[in-house]
Structures are given as C-alpha cells and as structure tokens.
Structure 1
C-alpha cells in the first residue's frame, strides 16, 4: 500500500514539476523617479518575470555558464532522474535491485535538497521587496539652483512557478521516503 502511495505522490510531484520550472517563479520591478518642484520624471529600470528555465537561458546568454549549468542540473536534470528512478523502483518492487534503487533514491533525496537551495536563492533575491531609497540632489547651472529628489524602488513578488516547484520538492521527497519504507516493510518477514 505504501509503495503505491509513494508512486502516486511521485506522479503528482511530476505534475507539479513542469509548471514549477516553466511558470514564472518571481517578478521583479525596479523604478526610478525624480521630483523637482511640481514635476516628476520616471523610468522603469527592470520589469521582468522569470521561470527557472528562463533564468537558466538568461544566465547562459550572459555567459554565466557555471551558474546556469548548476541551476539546470539541480533543478531540472536531478529531479527528472530522481522521478524516473522512483518509478523504476516501484516497477521492480519484487526484485532486489528495486529495493536497492529505492534505498539509493531516498539517500540522494537529501542531496536533492539542492532543489530547495534554488528556491532559497530566489527567495534571497526577493528579499529586496519594497526596498526604497531617496536622495536629495542639487544642480547648479548658470547661477540657478535646482533641488530635486531621486528615488528608486524595487518590488518583487512570488509567481505561480514558485508554489508549484515547492510543492514538487515536498511531494517528491515524501514519495521517495514512502516508497523506500513500503519496500522495506514488504520484504521484512512477518512477526508472529
């Protein structure tokens, strides 16, 4: 029974995984404004939404290859490999290699906390939410003095991809643990 529940959670996790890497994980917006007298000038400096895959693509384009590769490996390849291995362990449940595979997947589940590490990086980026700075400047030209305030504000919001990806991480970890436990209890001799 636990083995089947583990497979079910694994399939549900897989259903959350793809929206988790394809939907925007966060939105970031930075604006700069200048006030002088009654007038105001404003400009949007950054206005973007990024998913995990868009982040990898952007990092790759910007020649930050190591960071792009690490995020891709730990947020896309390792989760897909882990999900595939959980499915194989479920299928090979009567064979010794299925039990070994389930044990191995549960052990690397702790290493797949790199998924959570990626989410933590995004959260660190989002910690700038509503950071606002204002400075007073003066401009002297031809004997005229113009005082003005310059402010910049950064706003960030979590996107749907974040919630899907966190759901994937939690369900995937639970699935591998349930499968391993189910296979252990299945092969344990019944006590009288």
Structure 2
C-alpha cells in the first residue's frame, strides 16, 4: 500500500474506502453494502472508442435505411425507424413521440458523441474545453437512454405482427441490432473516472485534511461530489474544485420527493389501465384494448411468451416498483428496527435497474401504430393510455433517483431521530470484511467483471 492511497466514498452506504492497486478488467466492491465503487479497466479509451464509432455508424445506417415492411391482402406498407415521429404526431401524440425520440435517439447519440470526444482527446493528448460539461451530463444521458428497451420492444412487436401480416425485414432492422450491441459495449467499457482525471485532474492540495478509511464520511464532515465523485471537505468547501458543482445534501427532502413522485405515479397508473392503450381499426370497425386486454388476447392466440413479457413489464413491474419505493421510505422511518440493511440496499438497486423496462409496452404501441397502416383494411392507433403509462414509468424512475440509499444506513438527521448509538450494520464487522481490510477500510480484492 502507498503512503497516500486513493480513497473513494461509497455512494450507497457512505463508507470511506481505500482503493487497492490492481491490474486487469475488474470491479471493486464496497465490503459493507456490496456496491460497485471502482472499476479497473485495460486500455478503456481505445476499446470504448472503437465500439462507439461502430455504434454511431450503425445508428446513421439505421436512420436512413428501410426498417421493415408488412403486407396483407396484396397491400404493402413499409417504415423507417424514425417514422414514428410523424405518425404519432399526426395522431396528436406529440408528447409520446418526443419522449421516444429523446430516450431512443437523442440521449444515446449524445452519449456516443461524449465517448468519442473523450477517448479521442485522451488518445491524442488534447484537453477539449467542453469535455467537463459533456461529462457532467453523461450520467443522465446513460441512465435515461433506452436502446436496449426499444430492442426488446421491436422483438415483441414482431411476435405480435407475425400472426397478423407477412413481414419483410429491411437493412435498417439488422443495423439497429448492431447499433444496440455496440452502444451497450461502448457504455460498459467507457471509463468516466479516467476522463475526469484527464480533462479535470484532481488537485489533492484542496483538501486540508483527509478522511479516515473504514468509517462513514458524514461524521467526518466529508462527502463525495454528486457529479464527478471527488471527495469534498464540507467544513472548508462550498463547491467541487474539479467540476464546480455546488455541495448539497442530497438526503435533504429525499423521502418527501420520493413519496411525492411515487404518489403521482399511482395517480397516473389508474388511467393508464382504464383507458385504451391501442385502437385497432379493422374493416371499418374499431377495437379498443387496454394493457390487460392485450395480454389476454396474446394468451388466447397462443403467444404465451409475449403475453408473459407484456404482463411482467406493463403490470407487475410498475406495481412492484411502487410497492418497493413505499417500503424503502417506510424502512427509513423505522430505521431503529432495521437490521438487514444490505437487503434493503439490494432492493433499491433492483428498483433502479427495472425502472426503464416498463417502457417496453409504450415502444410496442409506437412501432405497431407506425407500421400497421394498411388503408381500407387495418390501421392501428395509439390510445390515450400511452401518455399516462409513459408518465408512470418516468415518475417512478425519478422517484427512485430521488431516494438517497445512504438513509438506509443512518445518514443525516433521520439517523439521530430514529437510532440510539451505532448499530451493528454501521461497522465493517468480521463477517463482512477480512481482518486486514477492517483496519484500513480497504476494498476487498476486486472480482472480475
């Protein structure tokens, strides 16, 4: 170990940790809450740059090439992947069109441009003045990009269409899947920490004192920057010296914000299930179907897998998210009685992970409404519930991001109000960390990831 080892603060349990030197592509986990706090990568700039360039090439190809075509009764109808913007707009669904374009097109494009600019500057040893700004919004772009969700939506739409019409796959269909794969690879290999260290190097002199490893940062009046992860001294600093983000207590009003967005999601979930999600016009007659109607129809047609996917993504996941968010808020209020905080932290990670997947049904409706426009035979329109359902997904995602998981470990005023003394889970005990790591707060040996 070095005399002045690098330290990080776990964003989920507030534990100060020392980062051990390692080589290879590995992930370092917090010994207390098992949160991934540090990533070790081999030549991340070159690898992620190659993936990002490939992804942006396939994205351009996807937007310009035919996506798919359907035919029925001798009538053929084709589409390109961006046709949903005009089709949904013509159906007075501009809000849904904008949301889909934002999540599926604009934010992924901004993510790829940030990766390309950062990796290029790092390789060519150029420090672009605009990179700190792009890095500040990168985390938001990655969290809200839904390329993989749209990919699943395409597959579900295909299974639904196979029983209705004949399908022909265009070149844009295959380039889209190549784009999705390379996009996910580029994001997973990109080292945001390395970019911050290069374009805005750390000035360790700004810290007049150093936090002790192995205990929480809050009692020592330290915190980590919510943007770049820099360790900040709350006694002597008001903003991050690296990214100039102001120091703020994100735990303040965290429960109130989470409850407010969760209750708003509950309110929007009612019309999302009452009003039609999709309207099918067949030979002049209209058939309205809600989310649950679509599941029942698919089940009766024998498409059990697709019915199960829609049921889980559109019915179970929103309900589970809402219940788990309410349970987490209740757990913080009953913190003194809580012992298994690792389990609660895992629940929080599950809520964060499943947040965007409920958008599958919205993407399915958008694709179906765009491609199924066979005049005088069959046309599909997006129903009014589409907006409400998208609002439920967005509100629950915001609610999950408003919740501060450190509260589960006694962070802030809730700790003083609901607990007396230190609980067992506030210490790095022998059953959680090997003896040599308890003394210095060092992360356990990273596991391959």
Shift of 1:104: 3.2
Residues in 2 aligned to 1:83 and 1:153: alpha-carbon distance in whole angstroms:
41
Q: Secondary structure at the match of 1:187?
A: coil
Shift of 1:100: 5.4
Matches within 5 A, 1:15-164: 15-31=267-283, 44=284, 47-93=286-332, 94=335, 95=338, 97=340, 101=344, 104-128=347-371, 130-132=373-375, 152=376, 154-164=378-388
Considering fraction of residues, name the structure with more strand. 1
Shift of 1:50: 1.1
CA change 1:129–1:182 in 2 (3 A) is farther
Shift of 1:6: 0.5
Residues in 2 aligned to 1:102 and 1:9: alpha-carbon distance in whole angstroms:
20
Residues in 1 aligned to 2:340 and 2:325: alpha-carbon distance in whole angstroms:
12
Shift of 1:187: 0.8
Whether 2:259 is the aligned partner of 1:7: answer yes
CA change 1:186–1:166 in 2 (3 A) is farther
CA change 1:106–1:81 in 2 (3 A) is same
Residues in 2 aligned to 1:174 and 1:165: alpha-carbon distance in whole angstroms:
14
Shift of 1:122: 1.1
Aligned length: 157
Q: Secondary structure at the match of 1:66?
A: helix
TM-score with structure 1 length normalisation? 0.69
TM-score with structure 2 length normalisation? 0.32
Q: Secondary structure at the match of 1:55?
A: helix
Q: Deviations over 1:62-105 (max 9, x none)?
A: 22211111111121112211111110100111346568536633
**Number of the residue aligned with 2:239:** none
Residues in 1 aligned to 2:410 and 2:398: alpha-carbon distance in whole angstroms:
18
Residues in 2 aligned to 1:28 and 1:168: alpha-carbon distance in whole angstroms:
24
CA change 1:156–1:169 in 2 (3 A) is same
Q: Which runs of 5+ in 1 are unaligned?
A: 32-43, 133-151
Q: Is the CA contact 1:99–1:180 (under 8 Å) kept in the aligned structure 2?
A: no
Residues in 2 aligned to 1:102 and 1:164: alpha-carbon distance in whole angstroms:
29
CA change 1:96–1:120 in 2 (3 A) is farther
Shift of 1:51: 1.0
Worse-matched range after superposition: 62-71 or 169-178? 62-71
Shift of 1:113: 2.1
